[in-house]
Structure 1
Amino acid sequence: MDRVESITVTTSEGSPHGPFIPRLPVEVCERIIDHLATGWDIKDTRAKSQHLSTLASCALVCQDWYYLTWYHLHQRMYLRDRKDVLSLSRTLRARPRLREVIQQVVISGASPGECQPIRHLGTFAAMLAGKVPWLSRIVIADAEWTVGSVRLEDIGYLAAFNSIDTLHLSNVTLSNVAQLSHLVSALPRLR
């Protein structure tokens, strides 16, 4: 009863591929992926991108690992232009469960480190208002908010995101204080 059996896999040509290797329990896989996901919380952007790359690679291992990484890979959404916003909107329509996973949205200019116009902030607010119930944090980074690039009426749609309690601005140039005032007043739960 204590013997270990070896299963040989055969291809269509009839050649064996060696012994069958037992699978890791799902709980072990979950712990590995959760451990990799904790690397996102570090400050070093190079190390952070390596963790993201590793998580993305894990998603490609098999269908089980794809679903285990799904939660971690979709908690933070990066929106660099209008196409990203439209793609996210289509994804949320196709996969409604994803709506409950997204906790943070990063809205930035097209190039990291350079201030670029963020016209897509208004598109994001108008198209996704009320569609991401657990969104708690918006980050606006590497952005130039010029007069007329984002309609103030669109910023009003942010009030529908009633779970947002954190707004982080990093390397953002505003044209006037009224833009910041409208943004802050549209998010009543800010801490």
Structure 2
Amino acid sequence: MSDEGESVKKDGAVASDNPSVEQQHIVQDSAHIRVSEEYDPQMPSLPIEVWEQVIDLSWEFDSVKACSLTVLLKDKKQVAHMARLVRREPYLKDAVKKVVLMGGDRDFEVLPHFGTFAAMLARQLTRAAKLEVHWAKWQTGLFHPDVFLHMTAFTSITHLRIYFVSFPSVLVFGRFVSALPQLKQLECAHVHFENGSFDKRSPVVRSFPTQFVLDGITGVEGVIDFVVGTTISAKLEELVLWRWGSVSTRDLAAHYERFQRLLQVIGSSLVSFEATLNGMSGKEPESDVKFIGSALNLSSNTNLEVLKLVIQDICAASRGWVDALLKTVSTKKLREVHIVYRWMISNPSLEIVLTALNEEECRRIDDFLTGKQFSKLTQVSFGLYTRQRNHVLPAAQAWWGELSSRFPKLRAKGIFRTTVLVDYMAL
């Protein structure tokens, strides 16, 4: 059987296997495997024998495993029940890996059971590594005055995700974050402050995460001000910007100084930077290029080693701003560059996808990344992230062939890679 055009499939990723060209690496990207964590109180009660069959027949073992390790708490009654259960069955102390505290369902509601959780389960969930708070309105008067002291007992929690939560002030938010002594990853999306002023009463930070994730370009302004205005960024090594919406350049420009200040404050401690961009509106390409090249200027991040750009809106991608962003990189320690184009329409035409890659821009990127400044560069990867019906794999070999001809210098150095990622779970 000929090796030409042969594809290999593994864990949703495919890469061409052709001995006549450089080996293409298969990228393992767990972000495209989605696990449902929703709780339906109306779900019918079925005999245990039925659920055993469901679990046995489930082809996605990781989904079942994740559910078994996650606790979802919506009110004081559920928290109290969980506390009694843990005391009655001590093995559960080590079994729970993630706790999700819910205020409302798609709406902000008060979270009175947070104080109950902190008081009753402190030092009980000894292996819980992740805490999430969703759709909640924080009201200080509902909690015991020592609620943050109770939170310091959760020494196993390293990952905090705050999703659609309203705090009375930046001070309260800061005390909450600082209460977790082993916090390593802070993830925020749509965090609001009733009193958004940042004053001298801002908390003394005692937790120093190494990874900071911002989900969305709006609803995180106050969080950025907190990071910039305190010492919490002292040990930040990884910054991830997810889901920058497809909005106008004018709207994005309103956030320019805030995001640029964030990158400057993190400065030389930043090792890895990832941004998911939907592209600009496409109406003012010259302004788009200018904005991206300034709002995400990486010149102050002199120890950057890994850079990843995920581009969602392919139609708006070939505007020259990828090249503009890359040219702000000043580090001499860059090891990896990953550029991923997400195409979420089934069965994409390769010709349409390639419109995202302007040939002139490709030439400039090829010249820039093969310069003397990047002598430590070991990999430049261009990925296509898509979903297919009926398990029809995209032409991984064609993707390689089309792109490799546009980056001859990177290919000659043996550091050019292409990948194809297929999200079957999204079908």
- TM-score normalised to the size of structure 2? 0.30
CA distance in 2, matches of 1:66, 1:127: 33
May I ask how many residue pairs the two structures share in their alignment? 144
1:128 match:
121
Q: Taking structure 1 as reference, are residues 60 and 160 closer, same or farther at Cα in structure 2, changes over 3 Å only? A: same
Letter in 2 for 1:121: F
Residues 118 and 145 of structure 1 are in contact (CA less than 8 Å); yes or no, is this contact kept in structure 2? yes
Deviates more, 1:64-73 or 1:88-97: 64-73
2:172 match:
179
2:34 match:
42
Q: Taking structure 1 as reference, are residues 63 and 168 closer, same or farther at Cα in structure 2, changes over 3 Å only? A: closer
| 1:144 correspondence with 2:132 | no
5+ long unaligned stretches in structure 1: 1-37, 51-55
Corresponding residue to 1:102 among 71, 86, 96? 96
Q: Which of the pair is proportionally richer in helix?
A: 1
Q: Taking structure 1 as reference, are residues 65 and 108 closer, same or farther at Cα in structure 2, changes over 3 Å only? A: same
Consecutive aligned runs of 4 or more in structure 1 exceeding 6 Å deviation: 62-71
1:84 match:
78
Residues 71 and 101 of structure 1 are in contact (CA less than 8 Å); yes or no, is this contact kept in structure 2? no
1:190 match:
183
Residues 146 and 175 of structure 1 are in contact (CA less than 8 Å); yes or no, is this contact kept in structure 2? yes
Larger Cα Rg: Structure 1 or Structure 2? 2
CA distance in 2, matches of 1:188, 1:152: 19
Letter in 1 for 2:139: T
CA distance in 1, matches of 2:143, 2:177: 15
- TM-score normalised to the size of structure 1? 0.64
Shift of 1:117: 0.5
Aligned-residue CA RMSD in angstroms? 3.3
2:267 match:
none
Q: Deviations over 1:17-50 (max 9, x none)?
A: xxxxxxxxxxxxxxxxxxxxx9xx516x5xx559
Residues 122 and 155 of structure 1 are in contact (CA less than 8 Å); yes or no, is this contact kept in structure 2? no
Matched residues, percent identical?
25
CA distance in 2, matches of 1:157, 1:66: 39
Shift of 1:142: 0.5
Q: Taking structure 1 as reference, are residues 88 and 133 closer, same or farther at Cα in structure 2, changes over 3 Å only? A: same
CA distance in 2, matches of 1:49, 1:125: 23
